[in-house]
Amino acid sequence: MKHFLRMLFQVCLYFYCKFLWRCLKFVMRKLTGRCELQRICYNTKPGASRTMKIETSLRDSKSKLLQTSVSVHPDAIEKTIEDIMELKKINPDINPQLGISLQACLLQIVGYRNLIADVEKLRREPYDSDNPQHEEMLLKLWKFLKPNTPLESRISKQWCEIGFQGDDPKTDFRGMGLLGLYNLQYFAERDAAAAQQVLSDSLHPKCSKFSKAEWEKKRMDKAIGYSFAIVGINITDLAYNLLVSGALKTHFYNIAPEAPTLSHFQQTFCYLMHEFHKFWIEEDPMDIMEFNRVREKFRKRIIRQLQNPDMALCPHFAASEGLINM
């Protein structure tokens, strides 16, 4: 009975707050002469703060037009904005900036949804050793990471040298499908020097760029390495979950002036891979069995950073030179 009453109270509180919020919006419109969308666009700076407020306003609106505007086709955004302006009785000639601001926000909102679909498609596609394109990507990964070492055969223990678990990497891609391979190849190709350095450090952590004094100061006597490719697939899983949960909206809405793309996601993976590598060395785990603990601690740190509406994960390596911080 107590549980039922508690639930009933929560439901009543929800509807009361919703009613109160609608009344407040009505009063604000009468006082300012502007609808909520106008107030957000005129009073909030461009970037995640504005786009996320616009997204919430549209999604929570009682108007079907506004609710569905966050999921329209990119080609229909301009027409949708015209319909919104007409619905809200806003003259575009008097308020030209509103249309421009709404278009920028909708491009990001719709683009984020489409990015999730693109990433999910890659994740669901399994690695197929009979597919020449898949095989070519895998062999390129080896060439980018080990340019001076020929691969003796497709099935080889050499794959362990770049962090796969056995002599055939295809079995390691089961969890993340082609997405894991796409990300690893992107990192290895777009920022070869950094990727090769991270690989080398993962195999020989005491030979990393930390000086001897830094190693001694941090008491990094254990210097536990890790499997580069397997960790890359694991970090792909982290990036995927951050994307699907919406946590990466802050980052993408701050760095992509229009729709975030697959390249933005891959650049984010590169950043996470680079930062996790530094975090692993700083944590100095006792052994590889501590991987899950270190990964979870790293995940929480990234989420805390992304809770800041002004946050943009700022990569400092070649793979992400094209990122724009608005």
The full DSSP string for 71-107 is GS-GGGHHHHHHHHHHHTT--TTT-HHHHHHHHHHHH
Domain boundaries, the chain: 19-123, 127-305
Buried b / exposed e along 68-87 (16+ C-beta atoms within 10 A)? ebbebeeeebeebbeebbee
- The overall longest dimension of the chain from CA atoms, in Å, is 75
Is 229 within 8 Å of 193 (Cβ atoms)? no
Tens digit of each residue's pLDDT, the chain (326 residues):
666 656 665 655 554 445 444 554 444 444 454 678 889 988 999 999 999 999 999 999 889 999 999 999 999 999 999 999 899 888 888 888 888 999 999 999 999 999 999 999 999 999 999 999 999 999 999 999 999 999 999 999 999 999 999 999 999 998 899 999 999 999 999 989 999 999 998 887 554 554 445 544 444 445 578 999 999 999 999 999 999 999 999 999 999 988 999 999 999 999 999 999 999 988 888 888 899 999 999 999 999 999 999 988 864 433 344 444 33
- Cα 37 to Cα 49, 99, 142, 253: the distances in Å are 13, 10, 51, 17
Phi first, then psi, for residue 239 (nearest 5°) are -65, -40
